[in-house]
Chain A
Amino acid sequence: MSDSLLVQGVQALKALGLNYAFMLDDMERQAFVRGLGVTLQLCLLTIPGSLAVGVLLAALLASGRAWLAAPARAVVEVTRNTPTLVQLYCAFLVLNMLITQQLRDWGAGPNPLTPFIWVVIVVSLHKGVFHAEALRAGIESVPQATLEAARSLGFSRRQLLARVQLPLAVRFALPSLVNNLVDLVKMTAVASAIAVGDVTYQSIMIWSQRDNVLELLLLILLWFGLLTGLVSLAGRWLEQRMRMPGYGQ
């Protein structure tokens, strides 16, 4: 039943000049659907991952202690000034190879770091740096008077950060953070470069056999449009929900 529906759909699109015949090939259709899932998985792992990296780095940057802030600043500068793809190649093709060879020399068995894990690490780190800067902007825009009031109530530095600065900073930084997250969703496509089976990779593998580039690009566009749309919606919802009536307006 659903099979014949698929056949009809493919034929209808063919009449429009769009060749979606790969949908009728079990292997290719399954690979493509798997690709959709892998892209979703990457998003679901790198969004919290990058936010965690961002909060950690922002806390270090705002700590007021040079020995914490300086290394964090170095990480930020190095990470945001090199392309994600280059970082991924460096991490996976070079670092990973060295780790594998070292483990082999030690007789410690296979390398547990898969290409998928490398993508999660590199993308989380890369985007986390941008979150950190967005959060820093938020932290620095918390009024001095508010901080002084909190200090006079006996808040420690950590309490000050966790209870006063971050909650306000997140509100200030939210538009930038959502912006970063939308960008992060699109950035997961770099996974295709190292053969992680995300939607871009599966599409390339299919179109290099069938040459239906346009057809697959339309599907990629739809999928990323859907994912980024969801992130934007969630961001809008959070902004509404966290709005403090009377503050700043």
Chain B
Amino acid sequence: MRHLQASFCSFARPLTGVAAALALLAGTAHADATLDRIKQRGKVTIGVLINGGPFGSIDAATQQLVGWNPELARALAKGLGAEAELVQVQTATRVQFLQSGKVDLLIASMELNPDRAEILGYAPTPFYRVGGAAAVRKDSGIAQWADLRGKPVCVSQGSSFAKPLTAEYGAQVQGYKSASDSLLALRGGNCVAAVHDSTLIHPLVRSNPEWTQYAAPIASEILPAPSVVWTRKGEADTIAAVDKVVREWHRSGWLIDTEKRVGIAPANPFLAEQQAKFKTASR
């Protein structure tokens, strides 16, 4: 019943009045339905983005989801005292997965921005900070973001880099279904650069033998923003529970270890900053 109601609400957003009335009804019974359901079922459904590389990929041998996003999702479930159920999501549709109740939480390389904060809830403590990097051919002559003006640039659909690339640097942005399509399009010569999370681009051009003709020469990151765990709007209890787990990750240094373990390099200075902050805070 509750599940039905959740998915109904997401489709009937125009019927705000009806939705609000239903939410009010539900609200009198439970403060936060999602956290209750997680506790009750002993299971939490987390949407993770799998785009290859250390961020998240599929282990060829075991068919298990491995890497940064899945590791965090499993640890988060454990922190909430529940079993993790991982669901793969796509950049363009991940918000719908969350809103329709297909997943309870999102750990999907989704950075914090005001537009998203208006429609979704999130645990305020960021677990990472990430910006965009551009992969280009070594002979392309591109050295800074401004060099992309007027040139076709590949991104994935739903990428938050699309807007600054168009508005600030005047690039012609082409959005592909996924990061891998965008990278293939770059190699097909359909764009001069592919812009994705730096954590995806840097390992690729540094260590993948198929990418020896490519580099990520632009030193600065585009739109560096904190990554957070997303929830549905207004789920205060769930948010508080998740945030507690994230703060503990920082304090204990677990994120720094995990970053090393899944092979994200170079180490993100943000994690060390946060650890220092939470260590002194807890004293």
Contact = CB atoms under 8 A, between A and B. Distances in A.
A and B assemble together: yes
A100 B189 contact: yes
Interface string A171-213: 0000000000000000000000111000001001100111101
B115 A17 contact: no
Contacts of B15: 17
Interface in A92-115: 92-93, 96-97, 100-101, 104, 110-111, 114-115
Contacts of A211: 95, 99, 115-116, 119
B275 interface: no
Contact of B184 (A16, A93, A204, A209): A93
Contacts of A27: 166-167
A195 B174 contact: yes
A214 interface: yes
A116 to B, nearest CB: 11
Contacts of A226: none
B269 interface: no
B188 A205 contact: no
A97 B186 CA distance: 9
Interface stretch (B73-81, B141-149, B156-164, B251-259): B156-164
Contacts of A195: 154, 174-176, 185
Contact of B14 (A18, A89, A115): A18
B190 interface: yes
A201 B163 contact: no
Interface size class of B (residues with CB under 8 A): 20 to 34
Contacts of B115: 209-211
B162 to A, nearest CB: 6
B13 A17 contact: yes
Q: Among the interface residues B92, B99, B159, which one has the most CB atoms of the partner chain A within 10 A?
A: B92
B119 A96 contact: no
Contacts of B157: 201, 204-205, 208
A213 B96 contact: yes
A214 B175 contact: no
B244 interface: no
B188 A92 contact: yes
Contacts of B176: 193-195
A245 B91 CA distance: 57
Nearest to B118: A211
Given A195-B154, A195-B176, A208 B14 contact: no
Interface in B158-209: 158-160, 162-163, 166-167, 174-177, 181, 184-185, 187-190
B16 A17 contact: yes
Contacts of B99: 211
Contact of B189 (A17, A18, A111): A111
Contacts of A201: 157, 175
B11 interface: yes
8 contacts: A16-B14, A27-B166, A92-B185, A97-B189, A100-B189, A111-B188, A115-B174, A193-B176
